[in-house]
Amino acid sequence: MSEKRIREHPVLDFQRKDGFFFDFEGKQVLAYPGETIASALYAQGLQRFTESKLLKRPRGFFCAIGKCSSCIMRVNGVPHVRTCITPAREGMKVERHGAMPEFPDTTLPCPKVKEENIEVAVIGGGPAGLSAAIVAAENGADVHLFDENTNLGGQLVKQTHQFFGRYEEHAGTRGTDIGKDLAKRAEEAGVNIHTNSTVLGYYHKNKIAVDAGNRLEIYGCEGIVYATGAVENFLAFENNDLPGIYGAGGVQTLMNEYGVIPGDRVLMVGAGNVGLIVSYQLLQAGVDVVEVVEAMPTIGGYQVHASKLRRAGVPISTGHTVKKALGNEQVEGAVLHELDENWEPVTGTERTVECDIICIAVGLKPDNHFLRLAGCKMKYVRELGGMVPLRTETLETSVEGLFVAGDSAGIEEATVAILEGELTGAAVTEKIKGGSEKLLAVKKRARAGIEEMRKGPYGQRPLEGVRACTFEGVCPE
Ligand SMILES: Cc1cc2nc3c(=O)[nH]c(=O)nc-3n(C[C@H](O)[C@H](O)[C@H](O)COP(=O)(O)OP(=O)(O)OC[C@H]3O[C@@H](n4cnc5c(N)ncnc54)[C@H](O)[C@@H]3O)c2cc1C
Ligand code: FES
């Protein structure tokens, strides 16, 4: 296995001190404090993480944020561990177990159960959750914030570019710095922060269950703000399950959070802002981007991002898509073809590109299984990326005391996530502790900001979507 770590980067400085080793199938693997098992293994060149159930096809990882299960392994005897969000620890024992692992050793110690009643639970420590927690804590609520990752900041922890949006909500600042700033403010406001804590389920009367690693925690909550973000969309094409086909967020996590080189030659699929930005970040990390393909006839992202790529010599082919991935154990190339105005393949336009990574950047959908479990009324709204909860003007769902902010309520961007977080933080505090002039002012300011954002060039689509799922008073049947 050869080390695949970024040594020099124009923006990021990867501190690699106090390295340690863990056991992977009898071999010693080097890891650094703060990195996950999957990142350490990938840095050593591992691509096959698990396999498919029926055909035993190889599976690499995909999302790198705990949402797709293609990285599960046995860790210290426990199967089905999501290695992409589990921190590597010295001396741990990691092994692959395929799609159908044996039942865990029943002599392992049972997790302890802790029960507690709290005022506000915030689920998710991205910009939406952190902003909600800050407002609620600054206005006297006892707030507990849960995030299943080690680092707070959600998607922001890997955004090295300067953000677009409103200057009041940090536009012009690098995403990584916005995340750190919000996390610091949450700590200063007295938020009880629980990292590496996955919220597993919702129970009657706003009770939640949390997997805190070595114990199960049950919280009875007076109010909940749900802000778990989004899941990346996938794309149907032949051989699309090969290791080396990753979501744009997965590639960013490897490269910008852990300083691991995802591959040598990347084909980017999707020329929206995410595809363009991640392509540029790949170039910054010293990776060759062979081409960006986009099925639409025009580029969806900002021209400024597209121009940077073109200046760097990266071709952007609109009206093109991937027909199939080449390779057996991992990606070795891709066959592309042109699409006509009816999205049909144009015969005779097939061509092959050599690449070892196919990066999929074709949009996101809201992550909100928990809300369905809680019985929230949901609706399919295309403009917001899929199934979304119906919400009141203060972003409360049809389940009383359960509020939703950010991408899990509909795909927009970080500025709106921050403002929605502030609005829900104020609304949940008002509900529990009563209203105040200060809370009223926060709500007013957040609402005005959201309205302003939705007047912008990318705001029309979500605005139509939000109109379709806002209810007043009694929720429609
Ligand atoms: C490449 C890229 C570039 C972008 N550029 C911009 C930009 O320039 N400007 C802009 O405004 N926006 C940008 N965005 C969008 C922005 O990052 C997101 O809209 C924003 O992060 C959404 O915030 P959120 O808090 O809703 O979700 P997230 O940031 O996704 O945070 C969700 C959090 O919830 C946690 N979580 C999930 N499930 C659970 C669970 N069960 N238990 C506990 N915790 C859980 C996750 O670990 C995560 O920390 C970009 C996004 C990408 C991918
Ligand atoms: S859950 Fe680990 S890669 Fe998706």
The verdict on the CB of residue 158 being under 6 Å from ligand 2 is: no
Residue 126 CA to ligand 1 center (angstroms) comes to 5
pLDDT at 2: 59
Ligand 1 centre to CA of 105 (Å) is: 36
Which three-class secondary structure state does DSSP give residue 425? helix
Q: Are 338 and 346 in contact (CB under 8 A)?
A: yes
User: What pLDDT was estimated at residue 105?
Assistant: 72
DSSP bridge partners of 247: 360
> Could you tell me where in the chain the CATH 3.50.50.60 domains are found?
112-231+367-468, 245-364
The confidence score (pLDDT) of residue 161 equals: 84
pTM of the model: 0.93
Alpha helices in 299-413 (DSSP H): 303-311, 369-373
Q: Considering the domain 20-95, what is its CATH architecture?
A: Roll (3.10)
Question: Which bound ligand lies closest to the C-alpha atom of 250?
Answer: 2
Residues forming a β-bridge with 74: 95
pLDDT at 475: 62
Q: Residue 250 C-alpha to ligand 2 middle, in angstroms?
A: 8
Q: Whose CA is nearest to atom 41 of ligand 1?
A: 199
Residues 141-186: tens digit of each pLDDT: 999 999 999 999 999 999 888 877 676 777 788 988 999 999 999 9
C-beta of 22 in contact with ligand 2 (< 6 A): no
For the CA of 63, the closest atom of ligand 2 is 4
Name the burial class of residue 231, with classes exposed (0-12), middle (13-18) and buried (19+) by CB atoms within 10 angstroms of its CB: buried
Q: Which stretches of the chain score pLDDT less than 70?
A: 1-2, 165, 167, 473-477
8 Å CB contact between 256 and 33: no
Closest ligand to C-alpha of residue 37 is 2
What pLDDT was estimated at residue 477? Answer: 56
- In which residue ranges of the chain is CATH 3.10.20.440 found? 20-95
Amino acid 162: pLDDT: 82
Q: Report the separation in Å between the CA atom of 148 and the middle of ligand 1, taken as the mean of its atom positions.
A: 13
Does the beta carbon of 420 sit less than 6 angstroms from any atom of ligand 1? no
What pLDDT, on a 0 to 100 scale, did the predictor assign at position 472? 72
Residue closest by Cα to atom 1 of ligand 1: 274
Cα–Cα separations (whole angstroms), residue 16 to 5, 35, 45, 87, 196: 10, 10, 18, 15, 22
Q: How much is the pLDDT for 214?
A: 78
Phi then psi for 320, rounded to 5 degrees?
-130, 150
Annotate 228-239 with three-state secondary structure: CCEEECCCCCEC
Alpha-carbon Rg of the chain, whole angstroms? 22
**C-alpha span between 5 and 251 (Å, rounded):** 13
- Which overall architecture, per CATH, does domain 245-364 show? 3-Layer(bba) Sandwich (3.50)
Residue 199 near ligand 2, beta carbon < 6 Å:
no
The residues, any chain, with a CB within 8 Å of residue 216's CB and separated by 6 or more, are 111, 112, 113, 114, 209, 210
For residue 217, give the H/E element and its range: strand 215-226
Which CATH number fits the domain 112-231+367-468, given the four candidates 2.30.42.10, 3.40.50.150, 3.50.50.60, 3.40.50.300?
A: 3.50.50.60
CB-ligand 2 contact for 49 (6 Å cutoff): no
Question: Whose CA is closest to atom 1 on ligand 2?
Answer: 66
Rounded to an integer, what distance in angstroms lies between the CA atom of residue 38 and that of residue 257?
12
- Max alpha carbon distance in the chain (Å)? 68
Say if CB 313 and CB 307 are below 8 A apart.
Answer: no
Query: Cβ(225)–Cβ(147) under 8 Å?
Result: no
Ligand nearest to the CA of 458: 1
257 CB under 6 A from ligand 1?
Answer: no
Cβ–ligand 1 distance for 277 under 6 Å, the answer yes
- At 26, which amino acid appears? G
**For the CA of 61, the nearest atom of ligand 2:** 3
For residue 167, what pLDDT is reported? 66
**Nearest of 25, 1, 49, 24 to residue 244 by alpha carbon:** 49
Q: Which atom of ligand 1 is nearest to the CA of 199?
A: 42
Tokens for 345, please give them: 């393949």
Mutate to test the pocket of ligand 1, among 65, 155, 391 (most ligand atoms within 8 A of CB): 155
Give the H or E element holding residue 381: strand 378-381
Q: Are 248 and 270 in contact (CB under 8 A)?
A: yes
Whole-number pLDDT of residue 3? 80
Task: Report the nearest atom of ligand 1 relative to the CA of 152.
Answer: 49
What is the C-alpha to C-alpha distance for residues 457 and 445, in angstroms, rounded to an integer?
A: 21
Q: How far apart are CA 97 and CA 77, in angstroms?
A: 10
